[in-house]
Amino acid sequence: MATRRLGEILLEKKLISGQALEHALLEQKKSGELLGRVLIRLGYISERQLLEGLAEHLQIPVINMKQIAVDQEALKRVPVRFAWHYRCMPLRVTGKVVTLAMSDPLQVRPIDDLKVHYGLDADIVLSTDAEIQDAIHRYYGVGADTVGQILEAAPAGNGTPPADTEEAATDIERMAEDASVIRLVNQLLLEAYKARASDVHIEPFRDELQIRYRVDGVLYDVPVPDDIRRFHQAIISRIKIMSGLDIVEKRLPQDGRIKVTVGSEEVELRVSIMPSLYGENVVLRLLPIKMLFELEKLGILPEDLKTLEQLIAKPHGVIFVTGPTGSGKTTTLYASLSRLNTPERKIITIENPIEYELKGLTQIPVAPKLGFSFMEGLRSMLRHDPDVMMVGEVRDQESADITIRMALTGHLVFSTLHTNDAPGSITRLIDMGIEPYLIASTVLAFIGQRLVRTICPDCKIVDPQPLVINAGPNEKIPPTIYKGKGCEACRMSGYRGRIGIYEILVVDAVVRQLIMQQAPAETIKQQLVAKGWKTMRQDGWQRVAMGQTTPEEVLRVTMDD
């Protein structure tokens, strides 16, 4: 009956032809889909046209789910399994009437079931299927449908098995291989990929399991159903099975890797598991396997790019990239190595861990458990006749000393330091015990960098009330400042994507003299700024003037002068 009525309505509104309806009805018999979805799939009508035609005929309003606030009481009264099964979204409850968003108002089954099982009548509004599914994800939480299915299928009172027993370990392993748990973990990873997350944090607490995604360098809470806490051990075990880790070991940290395919793209997950007070804490880092590293794509301004290209063309010396964890140092190093990666050069790297695979490079992973440290690797690298080398990180006197001495033997060496700015790297090396004359004679440059979020292009506007900024020396605040208003594309943050801001301290005659004098980092910085050297913050103000980012972002990631 519903199928015939829908066809009649669409014909009456001249939204489809009789031939199209006949074709769709034949296709529907084969696929078993709803007629409206068949017509949309075959391209005879768009979903919005379908809804507007039905709305006019049935006198039912069409809404935009992205502009509707959902009442929490409606979520409590209508469970997620009902919403997912019928692809509808409860919006609010008034007495015994629930306002229900549907993409097909001619379905009577969900309305009947709502009355029979939950004692609620339905007031129907229309929205697209995509908007409804997005709302279900957003309000019920990622994986809510899967959690609901597991709980519905489980015997009463059956939760997560108790820990620290042989029987419990067997039960957890069996549960981790269950199709529903596999689907739940896959949903968490897929949503992270869609959100452009670089990391997934799974953190257990006394009464909840918190899941957060790091997007553009900032952590966001992910809405998940409360009952997901009961499947914490099963989720962890599933991740351990995928990464080949010890499923029984829960007292010691473990690290592993997983390769997954999302659509047409291969993604590698770097897994780190660590015991905490209420269970194991997991961080998954998402790393695209096939990634192009090009200096031009880093966002370096033309004058700085020219300087960097001149530096990496040198036959020997050390280039240090500095900054805290997550500031994009590795990406800058890989982009530089990619530029140098030609058949006539032998390039060797030693890293812990190897984040990206670069064809043509010999990449050596550190294995501390086997006694193969950075120092062992550095000593071995020289025996393999390299032209260019990269040391993942200089972290102590021994690694710093051998890195600098490799440059003395005629090699071009890249490495990283964890310091707040480029001038501070000089002081850091001296504090490690490296002689000033060695730094002055081998280091070509220190490159300080940070990542700032870029303004979302979909909601970019002129900021009517820009932040009042106290400009420092040589800092020019632009007259027009932009910001992101906030939209669905940027998760209402106003930002989407990131670019680097840089300061390049080239070790010239003036800097060498300051190094030999063991001048403090602040003195070095003041003298360089007085001569026109550009700091990261000044580079940031240029990006603000270009409309790429906001003053708040620049101030967030740069040090006070």
Strand partners, 367: 372
Cα distance between residue 341 and residue 347, in whole Å:
7
Percentages helix, strand, coil for the chain, rounded to the nearest 5? 45, 25, 35
Burial label, 315 (beta-carbon count in 10 A; 0-12, 13-18, 19+): exposed
pTM over 0.85: no
| Paired tokens of 405 | 């001495």
Answer yes or no: are the C-beta atoms of 159 and 230 closer than 8 Å.
Answer: yes
Q: State phi, psi for 459 to the nearest 5 degrees.
A: -130, 30
pLDDT in tens, the chain (561 residues): 344 467 777 887 777 888 888 888 888 888 877 777 788 888 888 877 788 777 777 788 888 887 788 888 888 888 888 888 888 899 999 989 999 998 887 788 888 988 888 889 989 998 888 888 888 888 888 777 777 677 666 554 444 444 444 444 445 556 556 678 888 888 888 888 888 899 999 999 988 899 999 999 889 898 888 788 888 998 999 999 999 999 888 899 999 988 888 767 888 899 999 999 999 999 999 988 777 788 888 889 999 999 999 999 999 999 999 998 888 898 999 999 999 999 999 999 988 878 788 888 999 888 777 777 777 787 788 788 899 999 888 888 888 888 888 898 889 999 999 888 999 999 999 999 999 999 999 999 999 999 999 999 999 999 988 877 766 666 667 788 999 998 878 888 899 999 999 999 999 999 999 999 999 999 999 999 988 899 999 999 999 989 999 999 999 998 654
Supply φ then ψ for residue 79, to 5 degrees: -70, 160
Distances (CA, A) of 156 to 152, 162, 231: 9, 16, 15
d(CA 402, CA 222): 45
The SS3 of residue 100 is: strand
- On whether the CB atoms of residues 445 and 507 are closer than 8 A, the answer is yes
In DSSP terms, 62 is beta-bridged to 126
Nearest residue to 227 via CA among 145, 323, 312: 145
373, 374, 379, 382 alpha-carbon torsion, rounded to 10°: 140
Tell me how far apart the alpha carbons of residues 396 and 398 are, in angstroms, rounded to a whole number: 6
Give the three-state DSSP class for 200.
Answer: strand
Q: What is the largest CA-CA distance in the chain?
A: 91
Element housing 203 (H / E): strand 197-204
Q: Are 272 and 253 in contact (CB under 8 A)?
A: yes
